[in-house]
Homo-oligomer: A and B are copies of this chain.
Amino acid sequence: MLTLQNAGISKTSQRLAVLNILLKATKPLSVSTIRQSIEKEADIDKVTVYRILSLFRKRGIIRKIASAGGANYFEIATLENPLHPHFSCRNCGALTCLAPLPFTKAPELILSKDDYSIDHIEINISGLCACCRNTAKTKTSLHQREE
């Protein structure tokens, strides 16, 4: 089970609130959505939310999803919720989760998903380029950069 304790994060009411929102969510949430959801229970500054999300990401318990709209979205990253593609609607902007799938099944997805009309498939692979990997061995600044 995913708790702050076994993620090695000291327990505060704000962190608990953010974690619970994300655990309850069925799709990735933006920071503004997270804050609005918490507002009913507690009060929390937006900076604190960003810091908590950054911490959660460093501990590997959440994932960040980039959207073309500018805002980032966050979702729980556990074994029960493995990496999976997302569908973002061009019209309403909603971001929903698709079933996790091996890459060989990607063409099937494109052909079979007839409740979506797909007009753009974006594959973003992130990591470290050759240039940065080389300089990484000497520099220490590598793992400090967020995104």
Chain A residues proximal to chain B, CB less than 8 Å: 64-70, 72, 83, 85-94, 96, 98, 102-104, 106-107, 109-110, 115-133, 136, 142, 145, 147
Shortest Cβ distance from A66 into B: residue: B68
Copies in the complex: 2
- B116 near A127 with CB under 8 A, answer yes
- Chain A interface mostly: mixed
- A127 near B89 with CB under 8 A, answer yes
- B91 near A122 with CB under 8 A, answer no
- B127 near A90 with CB under 8 A, answer yes
Bound-state Cα–Cα, A64 to B125, Å? 16
Expressed in whole angstroms, the minimum distance between the Cβ of A94 and any Cβ of chain B is 6
